[in-house]
């Protein structure tokens, strides 16, 4: 495919790069070392409209193409992957409303989300139901007051900081995945408890939580139609996997750029490190993986704007880009030697941040299942 970016896409990428270089870059190390939530960086993005880059202009979104959005997400991740994680988690919640919500729900929430006023969280995963959401145990039972939700969600990005949660629960336990519905639950609802944020390997400024529910919400909290939750979630994850691929690109590109610059400056045995064949080969492999990851990611982004399902394209992009990021960040540590293992440089942070991209929004193994079933059907 010919990926010639439009003027609007390039301008949007440049805007994302500017705010990320000026604000996010300076905060990234602080968030990693202190485990403070990335509020300031998210706020900076929200003030410039980046919280709405997945939304159409009808709801005050940026109305940029998926290619333009991918380029912007890549820039955010290049400077701070933790902020990128919280941002893309917000997109999962607003995509849920955009895809599955009623007209009133869209009008009530999406413009405020696009304006950076409301932060969302996507509550699908459970302690015993990660790769297979159909095994979830969270239930919603209709009552005179509306719906009674009980259960526990786990690894929910933005959790306690979110102004609203999109919670997936079984409204008909006997109907399998067709008995799953989604609910739009606002912050402050009585009967919701948040555990302390998990202490994670990477993305330390993007907090994840276990959330327990024993609450009653009004009938209006049902997102769209009863029983449509699983279908909504799968469409949302198709979109989200393109964003994780873009996030992987950003982390990988940062590691590659730093490694290339280091290899030119670092002198070993009387010549720059990059003049040693072993290092040249590592850099060549990193460059090739990065370029290939860009192609599958941009292809998936292009497919996202089509009128057809793009599950395979998004799975391919997420699988390849995340695995490429793992290889590139690992080689970056090796090229930097002991300096790469030290927290004085961001290399080891890239390595840690990249690890989760092979897990969330569906593990690499799940992506292989999606691809394998599609090509053999």
Any idea which residues carry the catalytic annotation? 361
- State the burial class of residue 269 (Cβ atoms within 10 Å of its Cβ: 0-12, 13-18, 19+): exposed
Distance (Å, whole) CA 294 – CA 245? 9
DSSP assigned state of 360: T
Do residues 156 and 208 touch, judged by C-beta distance below 8 A?
yes
Contact 100, 229 (CB under 8 A): yes
Q: Which helix (H) or strand (E) holds 299?
A: helix 277-304
> Which helix (H) or strand (E) is 263 found in, with range?
helix 229-265
Q: Are 272 and 266 in contact (CB under 8 A)?
A: yes
Q: Is residue 272 classed exposed, middle or buried when 0-12, 13-18 and 19+ CB atoms within 10 A define those classes?
A: middle
Nearest to 155 by CA among 202, 211, 203: 211
For 163, residues 6+ apart whose C-beta sits below 8 A from its C-beta are 117, 118, 119, 120, 186, 187
Can you spell out the DSSP letters for 316-358? Answer: HHHHHHHHHHHHHHHHHHHHHTHHHHSTTSTHHHHHHHHHGGG
The residue to which tokens 């279908």 are assigned:
231
- The DSSP bridge partners found for residue 232 are none
**What is the spatial distance between Cα 122 and Cα 98, in angstroms, rounded to a whole number?**
13
């Amino acid at each position: 495919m010919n990926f010639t970016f439009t003027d609007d896409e390039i301008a949007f990428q440049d805007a994302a790069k500017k705010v990320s270089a000026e604000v996010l870059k300076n905060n990234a190390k602080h968030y990693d070392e202190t485990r403070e939530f990335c509020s300031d960086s998210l706020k900076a993005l929200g003030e410039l409209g980046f919280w709405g880059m997945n939304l159409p202009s009808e709801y005050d979104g940026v109305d940029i193409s998926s290619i333009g959005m991918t380029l912007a997400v890549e820039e955010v991740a290049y400077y701070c992957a933790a902020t990128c994680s919280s941002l893309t988690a917000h997109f999962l919640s607003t995509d849920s409303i955009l895809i599955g919500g009623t007209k009133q729900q869209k009008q009530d929430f999406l413009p405020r989300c696009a304006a950076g006023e409301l932060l969302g969280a996507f509550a699908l995963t459970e302690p015993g139901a990660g790769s297979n959401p159909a095994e979830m145990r969270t239930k919603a039972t209709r009552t005179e007051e509306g719906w009674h939700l009980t259960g526990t969600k786990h690894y929910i990005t933005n959790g306690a900081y979110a102004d609203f949660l999109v919670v997936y629960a079984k409204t008909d336990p006997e109907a399998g995945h067709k008995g799953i519905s989604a609910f739009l639950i606002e912050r402050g609802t009585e009967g919701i408890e948040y555990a302390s944020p998990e202490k994670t390997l990477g993305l330390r400024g993007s907090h994840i939580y276990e959330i327990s529910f024993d609450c009653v919400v009004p009938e209006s909290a049902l997102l769209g139609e009863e029983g449509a939750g699983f279908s909504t979630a799968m469409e949302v994850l198709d979109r989200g996997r393109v964003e994780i691929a873009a996030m992987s690109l950003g982390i990988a590109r940062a590691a590659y750029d730093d490694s290339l610059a280091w290899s030119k400056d670092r002198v070993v045995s009387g010549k720059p490190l990059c003049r040693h064949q072993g290092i040249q080969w590592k850099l060549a492999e990193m460059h090739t993986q990065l370029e290939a990851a860009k192609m599958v990611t941009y292809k998936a982004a292009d497919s996202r704007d089509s009128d057809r399902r793009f599950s395979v394209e998004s799975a391919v992009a997420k699988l390849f880009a995340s695995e490429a990021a793992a290889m590139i960040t690992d080689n970056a540590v090796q090229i930097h030697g002991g300096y790469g293992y030290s927290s004085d440089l961001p290399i080891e942070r890239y390595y840690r941040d990249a690890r989760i991209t092979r897990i969330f929004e569906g593990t690499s193994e799940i992506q292989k299942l999606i691809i394998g079933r599609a090509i053999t059907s």
